[in-house]
Amino acid sequence: MAIDTERPSTADTSHGAKHTAGFFEAVLMSNPFLVNRINDPSQLLSDVEPIHADEFLRLVSLAQQSCSLGRGFGALLLGGAGTGKSHLLARLASWASSKCGRFDKACFVFLHSIHASAIGMSRYLLKSFMSRLVEDRLDRLHQTMLFRIVDAAMDAAATAEGIQFLNKENREAVYKALSTRLGGDSDVFAVVFRFFCSIEWASAIPEGPARRRHLENAAIAIRWLKGDLLDAEDARRIGRLVLPGHDTTQLSEDQIETVLLVVARLARVIKRPVILCVDQVDNMRSDQFTSLCQTLQSLIDNSTNTLVVVSGVRETILQRIQDRTLPEAFADRVDAARPIDVRRIDRDAGRQILQDRLHQFLVPFEDSLDVKNCFASDALFPLGTAWFDGTQADAVEVRPRDVITWANTRWCEIQTRLKAEGPSNWLATWEKTSLDRTIPRLTKAELIAAIDAKVAEKLEESLNNYRLNRSQLQANAGDLIFLTKSLLEQCLNRPEHGYTVTDVQERGGREIDLRVLESAKGRSVQNDVQFIVTRNKASAAHQLRKLRDSKGADRRILVTEEEREPLRPLGAEGQQRYRELQALGNDVFTHVCMDFDQFAMLASMARVIELARDMDLEIAPRGFPRPVDESQVIDSYHRQNRFRSMPLLRLFLTEEPAPEMTARKFPRAQFREFVLQELAFAPPKGLLQLIAIFEARFPNIESNSNDCYLPQSVVRELRDEGRIKATPCDNDIILQSA
Amino acid sequence: MRADLACSDAVIMTKAIALAKQERPPKPKRGSAIARVPSNAFTAKDLAVAIIIDKSDQSRFIEAIELAVERRQLCESISWLSVAGQRVYFLREDISASDGESNHSPAGATAGEAVPKTDALHATRSTRLPSDFAAAFNTAFEKANLANGGLNFVKLSSLRDSLAHLSRDVFDAGLRDLRLRKLYSLESSDGASVRLTAEERAAGIKEGSSLFVYVSRR
């Protein structure tokens, strides 16, 4: 504990009294135990290293061995819900991102919520992998992991060639020596090198058309490496050719794995392993899961420095081993006979988790004599050791999530008492606990209200998570089709809600992507839906043609993701097809232009269902966790009208017009400065709290100007700059100074 | 001093603890479980260092103590408890001397044969366990595990069936003891992939809001 309880203090000075007041304010306004699960490995705010230390060391050792022995390894990470699997992976991510010399200790890629079909699994995996390596930050390509790997590998290769400094004269020769040494697909190497050179050239010249063109070339190279279709013009810009008789070019199936292997080999030049973690695989359908295993198996077999970690709920994964959905060969690769078990912890370890979070919370108030005295008498102040020892005292093994949930409930109790009694009275009797230790029985109405509230919080949490980590949600037609179909399927055969949808069919191939049948105003309506999420002009034109020519359609619906992969500019043919569709009239043709938030909300709805399926969604009346299952989440969506509130889904669910939606925005510069000031030398605060303070302090703020942004966007910007840490939690984002 | 002494020899163990008290009183560490362990409890290594000079003999002494514990041959005047996964040894007479403090034993401290008072341990104490419970449980577990493909994830119901001659109280208390000694761990069902029967649920152990239905060896 950093709080120095030995330091002599004779009386609480005005300085100390100020800190005491600040402590009470912080207790009332924040709660260090709100976050009880990790959605993203970068969100490791608190960590007790001795917990699951052996399991962590085994993972690190496997990663290091994969690099030193020059072979791929697999590991199976198993545990019950809430035991700390994702936390362990976050610790691994933190280790990987720590520096060893100039570079991170490992190249770490984390994937979860895989929505790909079994057939498209390898392409999906490649796209996800590359998205993480470039973090969808095309404005700052030189900071991306991919660039840093290539840059470091080129430096190492130059050194090996006796070259002290890389420059435009020797770069080509070094690249050739490097690609010859590493072997593999020369086409892939060439595009990786083009990506690297484009960024180097761009950084050497001032802002202007030439610089922009270099950066565009780098972005095109990324698109090709992700497996996207490129038309002839774009292909030419990165040295690729379109075959005669074809409009487009794309990575071949054989080259998909090669891209992953080339990146891994480049990392090996600088003696770094690649760690690919796939979390929550137990959520996948059997065919998806088997396909994922086959793709990962090949990667393990062919890689020279990759550790693949597959993580999931023990009961489900072991069931899949028994029913052979997890192929025997893959079970061998991940050493399924000796999985890495993340087990429940003993109570003392639970106590340490609480102490760690309390430590972070109390440090800003170490000059308060009251805080220091209370802490000296009880290391769990203000929760209290007596409270902890009395909470579920019979439990031998506990889940870390449970311990945090207990503390969260206790903290709320403290807040209530502090408000009612005032600081002085509370301080005199703070150790008292009125915690009711009987498991509460909720009425049906209370249960429904608690589930609805929890679902709403988790949807907002997931949305904020996607907003902060856009690369976790690929701009991908496959994902959109999957999400639309799976969510609409939850509305079938639910006459009590008055939905008009009667059937959802995924088509694909030469046909449109999705056919949705409705029964509206007493007649059957056939909606044919095409999703276009590509910048490729030829591909867009082809898909528009499919939609135009779709037979028997009463309505033709085009869906595009306009924020990251806008439909325009279309080529000449695409423009013609689009005009033809528009000429059909508004009743027959509808263009749904989705922004990122709409896409992220669809993904969040699916995500919260997955959390429930994974037993990761719980309500905790009086600190007693109680799981919310998949059907309860879906029922909550229906009750709360969430399906109808999504503009895309609404088209197939009702004839009523959509309500107007407005989002709260703030002046960017002013809100940035305000957030940084509020977080400086202070415990973590929630974004909602900061918004409330900001609105109270600046009541007449103008929010319609061009410089006004969503507060979440400003938070993402500050997080990307490394100035704050941001952790989505329920309907809030917990922020703290970096 | 011979290192391969019989650790059932009360004189030698008592001497070792007495020397350890003089030479290496454990430093309390604020906020950790260790801080609350009485200063008259020592690890096998502490005892070895206190009583034996030669390092290689110290290792043999430690092994001898561990073996005596495994075989339940530790002398009667000595007891041990497990703190943070490590056994610490003490004189039984020291427990009664500090009985008042033992109510504040850390919940993470787990018990050997003689234990300080804690709520968590009363169940184990009040139920008399057959001396061969651990061995019987191990055998039943191994058998069930083999039948289950060696996945180290066995349903409690099948273990109860195998040990049907034991009452539920004895089984639960015995398993609790094995868990406290970190030999076994329990897990609940997520309900998504495996549908449990009513019997399998009934065979579960309820702790707080968890219903444990699986056992695995640590």
| CB spacing of B190 vs A614 below 8 angstroms | yes
State how far the alpha carbon of B40 is from the alpha carbons of A55, A211, A436, B67, B87, in Å: 32, 73, 37, 22, 13
Tokens of A513: 């992507």
Looking at per-residue pLDDT, the higher value among A181 and A91 belongs to A91
Residue A84 is assigned to a structural domain of this protein: no
> pLDDT tens across A124-148, in order?
899 889 988 887 666 688 888 999 9
Residue B213 is assigned to a structural domain of this protein: yes
Q: Which of A356, A353, A358 minimizes the C-alpha distance to A371?
A: A358
- Closest residue on chain B to A316 (Cα): B193
Q: Are residues B27 and B107 in the same domain?
A: yes
Mean pLDDT value of segment A104-113: 89
Report the 10 Å Cβ neighbour count for B115. 23
Q: Are residues B105 and B140 in the same domain?
A: no
Residue B128 is assigned to a structural domain of this protein: no
Q: Is the pTM of this model over 0.90?
A: no
Amino acid at A464: N
Residues in chain A closer than 8 A to B191 (CB atoms): 615, 627, 629
A344 → closest Cβ in B151, B185, B189: B185
- The span from the CA of A557 to the CA of A526, in Å, is 11
User: Which pLDDT does position B23 carry in this prediction?
Assistant: 63
CB A411 within 8 A of CB A33: yes
Domain boundary, last residue among B112, B142, B177: B112
User: Which pLDDT does position A90 carry in this prediction?
Assistant: 93
For residue A413, pLDDT beyond 90: no
Q: Are residues B104 and B155 in the same domain?
A: no
For residue B100, pLDDT beyond 60: no
Q: Are residues B171 and B92 in the same domain?
A: no
User: Which pLDDT does position B110 carry in this prediction?
Assistant: 37
Mean pLDDT of chain A: 87
Model confidence band, residue B121 (pLDDT cutoffs 50, 70, 90):
very low
Looking at per-residue pLDDT, the higher value among B3 and B86 belongs to B86
For residue A106, pLDDT beyond 60: yes
Could you give the number of structural domains in chain A? 3
- Closest residue on chain B to A392 (Cα): B208
Mean pLDDT value of segment A250-276: 91
Q: Enter the DSSP assignment of A526.
A: E
> What CATH number does residue B90 fall under?
1.10.10
| Structural domain containing residue A472 | 441-659
> pLDDT tens across B124-171, in order?
445 677 778 999 999 999 999 999 888 899 999 999 999 999 999 999
Model confidence band, residue A332 (pLDDT cutoffs 50, 70, 90):
very high
**In the beta sheet, which residues pair with residue A100?**
A103
- DSSP element (H, E) containing A26: helix A14-29
> pLDDT tens across A202-222, in order?
988 888 899 989 999 999 999
Q: Are residues A397 and A521 in the same domain?
A: no
Domain boundary, last residue among B78, B112, B146: B112
Amino acid at A729: C
Mean pLDDT value of segment B82-111: 55
| CB spacing of B107 vs A316 below 8 angstroms | no
State how far the alpha carbon of B104 is from the alpha carbons of A648, B118, B120, in Å: 60, 8, 12
Q: Are residues B101 and B153 in the same domain?
A: no
In 3-state terms, what secondary structure has residue A528? Answer: strand
- What ipTM does this complex have? 0.70
Q: For chain B, which residues lie within 8 Å of any Cβ of chain A, measuring from their own Cβ? A: 30-33, 84, 106-110, 119-120, 123, 149-151, 153, 176, 179-180, 182, 185-194, 207-210, 214, 216, 218
Residue B102 is assigned to a structural domain of this protein: yes
Residue A497 is assigned to a structural domain of this protein: yes
User: Which pLDDT does position A594 carry in this prediction?
Assistant: 87
> pLDDT tens across A612-643, in order?
887 778 887 766 778 888 899 999 999 999 99
- The span from the CA of A136 to the CA of A133, in Å, is 8
- The span from the CA of B7 to the CA of B30, in Å, is 32
Q: What is the CA radius of gyration of chain B?
A: 20
Q: Are residues B108 and B153 in the same domain?
A: no
Q: Are residues B42 and B106 in the same domain?
A: yes
State how far the alpha carbon of A703 is from the alpha carbons of A160, A709, A712, in Å: 56, 8, 15
Domain boundary, last residue among A602, A628, A659: A659
> pLDDT tens across A53-84, in order?
999 999 999 999 999 999 999 999 999 888 99
Q: Are residues B92 and B148 in the same domain?
A: no
| CB spacing of B190 vs A615 below 8 angstroms | yes
The Cα of A616 is separated from the nearest Cα of chain B by a number of Å equal to 9
Model confidence band, residue B30 (pLDDT cutoffs 50, 70, 90):
very low
- Closest residue on chain B to A627 (Cα): B190
Q: Chain A interface, mutation test: which of B187, B196, B205, B216, most A Cβ atoms within 10 Å? A: B187
Q: Are residues B82 and B144 in the same domain?
A: no
Domain boundary, last residue among A659, A687, A706: A659
- The span from the CA of A221 to the CA of A235, in Å, is 9
Residues in chain A closer than 8 A to B214 (CB atoms): 315
The Cα of A379 is separated from the nearest Cα of chain B by a number of Å equal to 5
Q: Are residues A579 and A699 in the same domain?
A: no
The Cα of A309 is separated from the nearest Cα of chain B by a number of Å equal to 18
| CB spacing of B31 vs A379 below 8 angstroms | yes
Q: Chain B interface, mutation test: which of A346, A352, A629, most B Cβ atoms within 10 Å? A: A346
For residue A656, pLDDT beyond 60: yes
| Structural domain containing residue B54 | 10-112
Residues in chain B closer than 8 A to A627 (CB atoms): 191
Residue A287 is assigned to a structural domain of this protein: no
Q: Which residues contact A591 (CB under 8 A, 6 or more apart)?
A: A557, A558, A560, A581
Could you give the number of structural domains in chain B? 2
Amino acid at A260: L
Lowest mean pLDDT among A219-223, A517-521, B52-56, B83-87: B52-56
Q: Are residues A672 and A650 in the same domain?
A: no
Q: Are residues A696 and A724 in the same domain?
A: yes
User: Which pLDDT does position B102 carry in this prediction?
Assistant: 35
Residue B204 is assigned to a structural domain of this protein: yes
| Virtual torsion, Cα A378, A381, A386, A389, nearest 10 deg | -100
In 3-state terms, what secondary structure has residue A727? Answer: strand
User: Which pLDDT does position A84 carry in this prediction?
Assistant: 93
| CB spacing of A80 vs B186 below 8 angstroms | no
Mean pLDDT value of segment A388-414: 88
User: Which pLDDT does position B112 carry in this prediction?
Assistant: 39
CB A664 within 8 A of CB A712: no
Domain boundary, last residue among A400, A428, A456: A428
Model confidence band, residue B106 (pLDDT cutoffs 50, 70, 90):
very low
> What CATH number does residue A713 fall under?
1.10.10.10
Q: For chain A, which residues lie within 8 Å of any Cβ of chain B, measuring from their own Cβ? A: 1, 80-81, 282, 313-316, 318-322, 337, 341, 343-344, 346-349, 351-352, 355, 379, 389, 392-399, 402, 439, 613-615, 624-627, 629-630
Q: Which residues contact A26 (CB under 8 A, 6 or more apart)?
A: A361, A364, A365, A682, A683
Q: Chain A interface, mutation test: which of B32, B190, B215, most A Cβ atoms within 10 Å? A: B190
Q: Are residues A618 and A689 in the same domain?
A: no
For residue A716, pLDDT beyond 80: yes
Q: Are residues A533 and A678 in the same domain?
A: no
Report the 10 Å Cβ neighbour count for B152. 21
| CB spacing of A316 vs B108 below 8 angstroms | no
Residue A326 is assigned to a structural domain of this protein: no
Half-sphere exposure of A297 (CA within 13 A, CB side): 15
Q: Are residues B141 and B196 in the same domain?
A: yes
CB A196 within 8 A of CB A154: yes
For residue B97, pLDDT beyond 50: no
User: Which pLDDT does position B104 carry in this prediction?
Assistant: 32
Q: Are residues A497 and A606 in the same domain?
A: yes
What is the secondary structure of chain B as a DSSP string? --TT--TT-HHHHHHHHHHHHHH-PPPP-TTSGGGGS-TT-B-HHHHHHHH--SHHHHHHHHHHHHHHHHTT-S-TTEEEEEETTEEEEEEHHHHHHTHHHHTT--TT-EE-SS----HHHHHHHHSPPPTTHHHHHHHHHHHHHHHTTS-S-EEHHHHHHHTTTS-HHHHHHHHHHHHHTTSEEEEE--SSS-PPPHHHHHT-EEETTEEEEEEEE-
Model confidence band, residue B216 (pLDDT cutoffs 50, 70, 90):
very high
The Cα of A288 is separated from the nearest Cα of chain B by a number of Å equal to 16
**In the beta sheet, which residues pair with residue B210?**
B207
Q: Enter the DSSP assignment of A568.
A: P
Interface A:B, Cβ pairs < 8 A: 108
CB B176 within 8 A of CB B123: yes
The Cα of B91 is separated from the nearest Cα of chain A by a number of Å equal to 24
User: Which pLDDT does position A599 carry in this prediction?
Assistant: 92
Q: Are residues A509 and A655 in the same domain?
A: yes
> pLDDT tens across A491-517, in order?
998 888 889 999 999 988 888 999 999
Q: Are residues B91 and B160 in the same domain?
A: no
**In the beta sheet, which residues pair with residue A306?**
A274
Residue B121 is assigned to a structural domain of this protein: no
Model confidence band, residue A577 (pLDDT cutoffs 50, 70, 90):
very high
Residues in chain A closer than 8 A to B149 (CB atoms): 321-322
For residue A177, pLDDT beyond 90: no
Residue A514 is assigned to a structural domain of this protein: yes
Q: Are residues A355 and A382 in the same domain?
A: yes
Mean pLDDT value of segment A348-363: 92
User: Which pLDDT does position A611 carry in this prediction?
Assistant: 84
Residue B127 is assigned to a structural domain of this protein: no
The Cα of A317 is separated from the nearest Cα of chain B by a number of Å equal to 9
User: Which pLDDT does position B49 carry in this prediction?
Assistant: 79
Q: Are residues A508 and A549 in the same domain?
A: yes
How many residues are recorded in chain B? 218
- DSSP element (H, E) containing A332: helix A328-333
User: Which pLDDT does position A683 carry in this prediction?
Assistant: 79
Q: Are residues B86 and B155 in the same domain?
A: no
The vertex-B92 CA angle with B88 and B95, nearest 5°, equals 85
> pLDDT tens across A166-175, in order?
888 888 888 8
Looking at per-residue pLDDT, the higher value among A564 and A335 belongs to A335
Model confidence band, residue A195 (pLDDT cutoffs 50, 70, 90):
very high
| CB spacing of A348 vs B207 below 8 angstroms | no
**In the beta sheet, which residues pair with residue A667?**
A708
Ordered strands of the B78-83 beta sheet: B86-91, B78-83, B110-111
Residue A496 is assigned to a structural domain of this protein: yes
Residue A55 is assigned to a structural domain of this protein: no
User: Which pLDDT does position B29 carry in this prediction?
Assistant: 45
Q: Are residues A590 and A607 in the same domain?
A: yes
What is the secondary structure of A57-121 as a DSSP string? HHHHHHHHHHHHHTS-EEEEEEE-TTSSHHHHHHHHHHHHHSEETTEESSEEEEE------STTH
Strands A523-532 and A514-520: antiparallel
CB A525 within 8 A of CB A555: yes
